[in-house]
Chains A and B, each alone.
Chain A
Amino acid sequence: MPSFKVNVIIENKPEIVDPEGDTIFNDLILKDKKTTIKKVRSAKMLRFVIDAKSKESAEKTVLDTCNEFRIYNPLVSKVSVETLKV
């Protein structure tokens, strides 16, 4: 069975204040006059390594696991996945 790396990116919903992203943006990037960069949002990334029949199966198992163990709080956060075959 092939192995996959499933990167789960957890970021707060847009309406949630993100002081870490704001600080990086205002106090680091804008101070260096990188004016083409318009926004920074912080996030957390978890990498799962999983044996699965397919990419879709790997993603489903990982997302089901995230929901089962409340890896993210659905009230404030959203998740996206990026999957690579190992």
Chain B
Amino acid sequence: MKVAVIVFPGSNCDRDMHHVLTDVFHLDSQLVWHTDELPKNIDAIVLPGGFSYGDRLRAGVIAAHSPVIKDVKKMAERGMPVLGVCNGFQILVESGLLPGALLKNTSLNFMCKWTEIIVKNNKTPFTNKFKLDQRIPIAIANGEGRYYADDVTLKSLKKNNQIVFTYAEDVNGASLGIAGICNKAGNVVGMMPHPERSAEQIINPKNAKPASLIFESLLSTLGVMA
């Protein structure tokens, strides 16, 4: 099973994601430069974190116009699992694959710390190994991570079960405490926290098992494990 990790100018979590996918979960992961076409034989796509184009104009908006995003959209429409982490989430929102916006944190500060998120939808390709309301100790690191959507959009997200993760505490003023959402079909998931920085016990001071279930969910979706 092959997973494409898209690399943009300014991505800085691409190697971490590649390492976790390859060395920890034994998937065939391939880094794909943003001007290249997606390989034909991939089974999932990950947009990693970082600062594509230095967050110029707005985090993720310039990367959202990259050539590879057209391919990502096509694959997403066909139901392929797509995960966007941090800047990857911002790119998914700016490309229109996910609704809403990611604004500056209310503190106006870049935050980098451990927090907990709660699983609110365990039907996605990245959460199917969780129990509902299961907590995940996980790293967050962002300056523009405050998820915002208007009331109509929030109502729609709730109605369609598109809220995937919420924060256990108010870390940045996000609407409804949202830390991650999915599209209506459920195959495209965006999240601000970093599972790739949290899924190995050697770098997680709390419990790495819950964060590792994000990747084990993908393995299950791809038929690699039960």
Contacts and interface: CB of A to CB of B under 8 A. Distances in A.
Interface in B40-68: 57-58, 61, 64-65
A37 interface: no
A73 B107 contact: no
B153 interface: yes
Given A17-B173, A75-B149, A75-B150, A70 B61 contact: yes
A16 interface: yes
A19 B101 contact: no
A19 B107 contact: yes
B114 interface: no
Interface in A1-41: 12, 15-17, 19-20, 23
A17 B173 CA distance: 9
Task: Name which of A15, A17, A19, A20 has the most chain B CB atoms within 10 A of its CB.
Answer: A19
Contacts of A15: 150
A19 B61 contact: no
B104 interface: yes
B104 A73 contact: no
A45 interface: no
A20 B104 contact: yes
Contact of B101 (A17, A23, A73): A73
A76 interface: yes
A73 B149 CA distance: 11
A43 interface: no
Interface in B98-143: 99-101, 103-104, 106-108
Nearest to B99: A75
Contact of B106 (A12, A19, A69): A19
Contacts of B33: none
A75 B149 CA distance: 7
A73 B94 contact: yes
Contacts of A73: 58, 61, 94, 101
3 smallest CB-CB distances across A and B, nearest first, come from: A76-B101, A73-B101, A19-B106
Given A23-B108, A70-B65, 13 more contacts: A16-B148, A19-B104, A19-B106, A69-B65, A70-B64, A70-B94, A71-B57, A71-B61, A73-B94, A73-B101, A75-B99, A75-B153, A76-B103
5 contacts: A19-B107, A20-B108, A69-B65, A71-B61, A73-B61
